[in-house]
Amino acid sequence: MIGNLNHVAIAVPDLEAAAAQYRDTLGAKVNPPQAEPDHGVTVVFIELPNTKIELLHPLGNDSPIQGFLDKNPSGGIHHICYEVEDILAARDTLIASGARVLGTGEPKIGAHGKPVLFLHPKDFTGTLVELEQV
């Protein structure tokens, strides 16, 4: 069902400093910040030869990332994202197997302009999983 690793998301307390570290210290290609109000985050994508890193920073007072940073002030890995061919079929298969889809269970449009869903971390060894339709 899952395909390629699309990205690893890292919550960061200082988006500009984190982007500069990837660009200046690690020599990575860093894209400009992108506000995602529907998800309560500002993101910066770091492009690697085989995947991406997504830096997440809170956008607005109700950002789910703020809660994560309150518990992890230095930041840290927030979620991993896998690609799927058919997000609705993947959702239905996962629900049938007992996995919990967060939110309403209906896909939202993610930062890449494609449908995404999140799966409960308690069902995946403590890891928040995002699925993105390719």
Q: Which residue has the tokens 């309560």?
A: 40
Distance CA 25, CA 115 (A): 33
* pTM metric for this prediction: 0.94
CA distance 82 to 90: 11
| CATH code of the domain covering residue 118 | 3.10.180.10
Radius of gyration for the chain, computed over Cα atoms and rounded to the nearest angstrom: 15
Overall domain count for the chain: 1
Mean pLDDT of 80-103: 97
Provide the pLDDT for residue 30. 98
The residue annotated as part of the active site, out of 16, 54, 106, 130, is: 130
54 is catalytic: no
Q: pLDDT tens-digit profile of 94-124?
A: 999 999 999 999 999 999 999 999 999 999 9
From the CB of residue 17, how many other CB atoms can be counted at a distance below 10 Å? 9
Q: Do residues 11 and 78 touch, judged by C-beta distance below 8 A?
A: yes
For residue 66, give its domain range.
2-133
| pLDDT value of position 93 | 97
Task: For residue range 13-72, list pLDDT tens digits in order.
Answer: 999 999 999 999 999 999 999 999 989 999 999 999 999 999 999 998 889 999 999 999
Q: CA–CA distance from 21 to each of 27, 90, 132 (Å)?
A: 9, 36, 27
Q: What is the pLDDT of residue 94?
A: 97
